[in-house]
Structure 1
């Protein structure tokens, strides 16, 4: 059955375009391992992955390639990275594969370190792809023909770029929010940038890596090729001459070195970004490649590529603009600025399916934030509710599609927790039991006697995520510490009505309610806790009462009393879960008036 969502609609367009061109479906992502590859960068991978995967679900071959821009220059020393200090500044201007990794890394270079960190997460997320190292491509001579072609046609390339340089200057100066739009497929104007998108583009232009590279223009003439100096290894070079017939290229470097080389044999340089990207589209026959706001602002590389790709015998791919992904409470992420949440951080507290769902459920042009705080509990509630709707056949088409894409790929399902328990419930139990597995299993086993959990392994990987979140992300004020003994002063000061409510909770006190131990399950304790205020006001314990303000106030007062007597706070975990965790004997000891 074909799914119905934004992924399906893009896949339709991609398949039709591939058929028109008589070419295989190639979806591309580009990642620069200039620092931690963060959760914003992950959208660059997830969007093509989801589209390629949908194509495969239809029985059509699709190639998802990830181009590692590891031949980019090292631009700055990211702040706050473990094992990195200002001594790395001496490597600015070198290819990322020529920069040493952070201290303690087992990898051979800066690029390899951050690439490996990302690839582990991509594997965990079920993303299948073909890797391309731009260092290997350039140093092996794979692009030599394309480089010589670009140098031979440099005047034509320069003429194209010159149409955009005034736009480049305006963008660099900071385009006004809401101004302009970028052409879409076929040269049609794309929607104008919103204020948020334009502001994000301006912020991105300063720290986006490849998007900020020059286009090869210089006072001494235009050359679309930038050598890395063979002496100092940096790109602080200026091409001073080139002979089309012999391919002799002369350059000088800021370090003082100058030389003349045969470009047809030279392997120490690359095309400037605005020429490199369309060249690669043609080389790989890319049909689909999205890009961020920074690449699609007026005069940027994606817009320029529309006119340069045909020079290399191809066309600009279908490439929707994707909006930024943020972290709740954090300013815009930038790999070159150091400590930012990466996919591995999210996977420590979220199951892979949930991470995938965050990207699959929203169209690429919709921005969203990822929460690492207590908001994750609400997110999991939404996910669990979706799972129930899907199993009951009640999910809408887009909801169903997002759930399927989150939990599986074309040829397999992703690992799931065999016995999923509410994230917020597990968090409360892990917090209260301080990770004691025997205690945890005892409590979880009482949540639903009709479907008991027999082993903590049935709770994994969700339990592992919860334990890590409680240990590293749970706010100190949200932690639960159960009293070691009765709050004698509070019990002594209790009113007659409060004493009656406590006796009713524990023993029924002559009401329709029974002893608290008789219903020692999550359902039974929920009935008992919510039933006490109802019975005290003349309702049946299981009666549904709506709009009774006095009852609502009485429930709040009763709940606050229980929290103060149990954990010395006015709020805390859901009371039925808290009572389960504490156990019947200790509950009696703490609540007996």
Structure 2
């Protein structure tokens, strides 16, 4: 029997890790936290939940690296933020002035999304880890072993480290920057480092009180020891030869004397037409935005369905409806073990809410002109009786569908049913004959979507009309557009009397 990819990973983890299943995720909140970042968090959460189901007691950590510096003036920042480059994110003001600091500006909406996804994160801020003294012992170890760390990093990266390099970066108490300081000396007894800054200031920083931080390549393995991390998903960039994973493995064992976590490397998420998602490059589709257009189950399913080794192309315009259609279809008829497991791990609660296909729902919403009672009637008519029993869930899905229509849908997906026959439409004799034959057919027959669609197509063919010439007059007469939803299914949604009346009213 084929095993689901994450079950295979958990089996491998249990062979090498026996207790204290602490799982780590995290990010530097320097910009909008996008769904590419969510791949790490959701992967960690899936593993967390499987370990729980196996009667283990895992913990899921999220480390917000808010002590990291602002690296540059990102495209989404105003010019005045240029003066903050080099300062820790937790010490920079919020761009919208509504949050405690710069980091919180991006973390707050992200954490709201995490809550909606039912992910039980235990959140740590790197600034607090340092200020509370939790990193003090590993900082001392790093400072005492500076020469050894320099040798390790030089060998792993193939680059010569700068003269006077230190594993610790103090924050200048004059200019507030962490990127321009150079350690001159340190006193482990007093927990002090002495530094000079590129701003010409000389000072001292207490490393037991969060007045600086370890450099990234040292901070990461040090954190594994401090938080007793056993498992960590991470982007493929860390696994590159000479990358931070290679150096982290050695530093963890030789400097901090701690076994490395079990790594799960994952591929990037690409935004169609733009490339790999990156906040710094302003290529992002935020997690919070995703939850405005799709239910939490769909966001989970986006990652559950794909092995970490596969990159994901995300397209909110055309790809999202296909993703939701796939999920909705599996809700009804998941057959294989893999399909059933994917659905199970995508759920937010044990009582899974039915998800309507987006294309179907948007068509129904527009056909009913936004009238909720009419929307329910059309959904029932089209075979979706179950969803209308839970009006709260239905209204949530309608709100998401409307948001998608307004912000992402192609124009071909949008329509308004015209109250009267549109002006200035002209049909060929063949098209006029087609409309007459279909009107005669509808007088005698009950509307069945597939049967009607095929009859329209075949009648048009017999009259020598192309498919475009066949379907276009119906859309023009009802929507004042040259295109629309699949015709037979669309006409079946509308009241039969309305369709007949409109076909009879068109100019001859």
TM over 0.5: yes
Alignment of 1:463 onto 2:398: yes
Alignment of 1:136 onto 2:128: yes
Match of 1:528 in 2: 452
Superposed displacement of residue 437, structure 1: 2.5
| 8 Å CA contact 1:326, 1:333 repeated in 2 | yes
| 8 Å CA contact 1:356, 1:406 repeated in 2 | yes
Match of 2:36 in 1: 40
Superposed displacement of residue 77, structure 1: 2.6
Superposed displacement of residue 67, structure 1: 0.9
Superposed displacement of residue 307, structure 1: 0.6
Match of 1:355 in 2: 299
CA distance in 1 between counterparts of 2:182 and 2:83 reads: 20
Superposed displacement of residue 11, structure 1: 0.8
| 8 Å CA contact 2:427, 2:473 repeated in 1 | no
Name the CA shift for 1:484/1:131 in 2 (closer, same or farther; >3 Å). Answer: same
Q: How does 1:361-400 map to 2 (within 5 A)?
A: 361-390=305-334, 395-400=335-340
Match of 1:160 in 2: 152
Gapped runs of 5+ residues in structure 2? none
Aligned to 1:313, the other structure's residue is in SS state: coil
Superposed displacement of residue 347, structure 1: 0.9
Aligned to 2:35, the other structure's residue is in SS state: coil
Aligned to 1:382, the other structure's residue is in SS state: helix
Superposed displacement of residue 56, structure 1: 0.9
Alignment of 1:229 onto 2:162: no
Match of 1:505 in 2: 438
CA distance in 1 between counterparts of 2:384 and 2:190 reads: 83
Superposed displacement of residue 7, structure 1: 0.6
Q: How many residues align?
A: 503
| 8 Å CA contact 1:36, 1:342 repeated in 2 | yes
Match of 2:375 in 1: 440
Superposed displacement of residue 42, structure 1: 1.0
CA distance in 1 between counterparts of 2:399 and 2:117 reads: 16
CA distance in 2 between counterparts of 1:458 and 1:530 reads: 35
Q: How does 1:234-253 map to 2 (within 5 A)?
A: 234-235=177-178, 236-243=180-187, 248-253=192-197
- Which of these residues, 396, 400, 405, is aligned with residue 345 of structure 2? 405
Gapped runs of 5+ residues in structure 1? 170-216, 538-548
Query: Any idea what the Cα deviations from partners look like across 1:34-83, whole Å, max 9, x if unmatched?
Result: 11111111112111111111111112111111111111111123223xxx
- Between 132-141 and 583-592, report the one with greater CA deviation: 583-592
Q: Output the aligned Cα RMSD.
A: 2.9
Match of 2:248 in 1: 305
Alignment of 1:561 onto 2:465: no
| 8 Å CA contact 2:113, 2:288 repeated in 1 | yes
Match of 2:96 in 1: 103
- Which of these residues, 275, 279, 283, is aligned with residue 335 of structure 1? 279
- Between 285-294 and 133-142, report the one with greater CA deviation: 285-294
Name the CA shift for 1:451/1:278 in 2 (closer, same or farther; >3 Å). Answer: closer
| 8 Å CA contact 2:23, 2:61 repeated in 1 | yes
| 8 Å CA contact 1:292, 1:322 repeated in 2 | yes
CA distance in 2 between counterparts of 1:555 and 1:4 reads: 46
Superposed displacement of residue 323, structure 1: 0.5
Q: How does 1:98-247 map to 2 (within 5 A)?
A: 98-105=91-98, 107-166=99-158, 217-219=161-163, 221-235=164-178, 236-243=180-187
Superposed displacement of residue 525, structure 1: 3.7
